[in-house]
Structure 1
Amino acid sequence: MFTKGMTRGLQAAALAVALVGGPAIAAVAADSGTDLEVDEVATSDNVEHTAHVPPQGAFADSFGTDMAFQGDLAFVGNYNGFIVYDISDPESPQTVSQVLCPGGQADVTVHGDLLFLSVDSSRSDDSCQSESLSATNKEAWEGMRVFDVSDPANPQYVAAVETNCGSHTHTLVPAKNGKNVYLYVSSYGPRDAYPDCQPPHDLISIIDVPVDNPEAAAVVATPNLFAEDGGGYTNTSGCHDITAFPQRNIAAGACMGDGIILDIAKPLEPKVVERVRDTENFAFWHSATFNQQAKKVVFTDELGGGGAATCNEAIGPNRGANAIYDLRGRSLDFQSYYKIDRHQFDTENCVAHNGSLIPVNGKDLMVQAWYQGGVSVWDFTDSSNPQEIGFFERGPISDSELILGGSWSAYYYNGHIYSSDITKGFDVLTISDPLTDPAADVQMDELNVQTQPMYRGGN
Structure 2
Amino acid sequence: MSAVLVPSASADGVPGGDEIVKSRNMHHVANIPKQGPLAAANAYGSDWAFKGRYAFGGNYEGFTIYDISRPKRPKVVTVVHCPGSQNDVSIAGNLLFLSTDSSRSDDSCRSVPKPATEKSSWEGIKIFDISDVRNPRYVKAVETKCGSHTNTLVPGKRGTAYIYVSSYSPNDTYPDCKTPHDLISIVKVPLKDPRAAHVVAEPVLFPDGGNPGDPPGTPWPNETRATSGCHDLTAYPDKDLMAGACMGDGVLFDISDPVKPRTITSVRDDENFAFWHSATFNNSATKIVFTDELGGGSAATCNAEVGPEKGANAIYDIVGKGDARKLEFRSYYKIPRHNADSENCVAHNGSLIPVKGKDIMVQSWYQGGISVMDFTDSRNPKEIAWFDRGPWADDLSTLAGTWSTYYYNGYIYSNGIQRGLDVIDIRDHRTNKAKRVRLDELNAQSQPNYFD
Structure 1 74/203 Cα, relative in aligned 2: closer, same or farther at 3 Å? same
Residue 39 of structure 1: how far off its partner (Å): 1.9
Q: Is the 8 A contact 2:100 2:126 kept in 1?
A: yes
Structure 2 Cα separation of the partners of residues 402 and 368 of structure 1: 24
Residue 76 of structure 1 aligns to a residue in which SS? strand
Higher relative contact order (CA 8 A, sep 6+): 1
- Residue matched to 1:292: 283
Structure 2 Cα separation of the partners of residues 37 and 60 of structure 1: 22
Question: 413, 421, 428: which one pairs with 1:418?
Answer: 413
- Residue matched to 1:442: 437
- Residue matched to 2:94: 113
Q: Is the 8 A contact 2:152 2:233 kept in 1?
A: yes
Structure 2 Cα separation of the partners of residues 334 and 453 of structure 1: 24
Structure 1 126/418 Cα, relative in aligned 2: closer, same or farther at 3 Å? same
- Residue matched to 1:10: none
Residue 403 of structure 1: how far off its partner (Å): 2.7
- Is 2:343 aligned against 1:348? yes
- Residue matched to 1:398: 393
Q: How does 1:151-300 map to 2 (within 5 A)?
A: 151-177=132-158, 179-228=159-208, 236-300=227-291
Q: How does 1:3-42 map to 2 (within 5 A)?
A: 34-42=13-21
Q: Is the 8 A contact 1:348 1:403 kept in 2?
A: no
- Residue matched to 1:80: 61
TM-score (norm 2): 0.92
* Amino acid aligned to 2:35: Q
* Amino acid aligned to 1:406: G
- Residue matched to 2:217: none
Structure 2 Cα separation of the partners of residues 242 and 401 of structure 1: 28
* Amino acid aligned to 1:396: P
- Residue matched to 2:107: 126
Structure 1 276/142 Cα, relative in aligned 2: closer, same or farther at 3 Å? same
Structure 1 Cα separation of the partners of residues 203 and 105 of structure 2: 27
Residue 29 of structure 2 aligns to a residue in which SS? strand
- Residue matched to 1:19: none
Q: Is the 8 A contact 1:442 1:456 kept in 2?
A: no
* Amino acid aligned to 1:157: Y
* Amino acid aligned to 1:416: Y
Residue 56 of structure 1: how far off its partner (Å): 1.7
Gaps of at least 5 residues in structure 2 are 1-9, 214-225
Structure 2 Cα separation of the partners of residues 56 and 107 of structure 1: 17
Residue 401 of structure 1: how far off its partner (Å): 5.1
Residue 439 of structure 1 aligns to a residue in which SS? helix
1:106-147 deviations in Å (ceiling 9; x for gaps): 010111100000000011110001111000000000000000
* Amino acid aligned to 1:321: A
Structure 1 402/388 Cα, relative in aligned 2: closer, same or farther at 3 Å? farther
Structure 1 140/71 Cα, relative in aligned 2: closer, same or farther at 3 Å? same
Structure 1 116/400 Cα, relative in aligned 2: closer, same or farther at 3 Å? closer
Structure 1 Cα separation of the partners of residues 211 and 56 of structure 2: 41
1:313-344 deviations in Å (ceiling 9; x for gaps): 00000000000000013100000000001110
* Amino acid aligned to 1:410: T
Structure 1 Cα separation of the partners of residues 11 and 343 of structure 2: 10
Structure 1 249/34 Cα, relative in aligned 2: closer, same or farther at 3 Å? farther
Residue 37 of structure 1: how far off its partner (Å): 1.1
* Amino acid aligned to 2:172: D
- Residue matched to 1:58: 37
Question: 71, 93, 104: which one pairs with 2:85?
Answer: 104
Structure 1 Cα separation of the partners of residues 13 and 144 of structure 2: 44
Residue 43 of structure 1: how far off its partner (Å): 1.4
- Residue matched to 1:370: 365
TM-score (norm 1): 0.91
Structure 1 Cα separation of the partners of residues 422 and 131 of structure 2: 25
* Amino acid aligned to 1:121: S
Residue 456 of structure 1: how far off its partner (Å): 3.9
* Amino acid aligned to 1:52: N
- Is 2:296 aligned against 1:301? no
Residue 391 of structure 1 aligns to a residue in which SS? strand
1:228-267 deviations in Å (ceiling 9; x for gaps): 29x9889821100000000100000000000001000001
Residue 176 of structure 1: how far off its partner (Å): 3.1
Dislocated runs of 4+, deviation >6 Å: 231-235
Structure 2 Cα separation of the partners of residues 273 and 325 of structure 1: 15
Residue 304 of structure 1 aligns to a residue in which SS? helix
Q: How does 1:300-319 map to 2 (within 5 A)?
A: 300-319=291-310
- Residue matched to 1:22: none
Q: Is the 8 A contact 2:252 2:266 kept in 1?
A: yes
Q: Is the 8 A contact 2:211 2:248 kept in 1?
A: no
Residue 59 of structure 1: how far off its partner (Å): 1.1
Structure 1 Cα separation of the partners of residues 212 and 291 of structure 2: 20
Structure 1 Cα separation of the partners of residues 113 and 394 of structure 2: 33
Structure 1 401/275 Cα, relative in aligned 2: closer, same or farther at 3 Å? closer
Structure 1 Cα separation of the partners of residues 383 and 255 of structure 2: 32
Identify the range of structure 1 (233-242 vs 410-419) with the bigger mean alpha-carbon deviation.
Answer: 233-242
Residue 114 of structure 2 aligns to a residue in which SS? coil
Q: Is the 8 A contact 1:348 1:402 kept in 2?
A: no
Gaps of at least 5 residues in structure 1 are 1-30
* Amino acid aligned to 2:192: D
Structure 1 172/33 Cα, relative in aligned 2: closer, same or farther at 3 Å? farther
* Amino acid aligned to 1:254: A
Structure 2 Cα separation of the partners of residues 426 and 153 of structure 1: 19
Q: Is the 8 A contact 2:165 2:184 kept in 1?
A: yes
Structure 1 232/419 Cα, relative in aligned 2: closer, same or farther at 3 Å? closer
Structure 2 Cα separation of the partners of residues 342 and 33 of structure 1: 11
Q: Is the 8 A contact 1:346 1:402 kept in 2?
A: no
1:33-84 deviations in Å (ceiling 9; x for gaps): 7421122112100000010001121111121110000001000000101000
Structure 1 158/198 Cα, relative in aligned 2: closer, same or farther at 3 Å? same
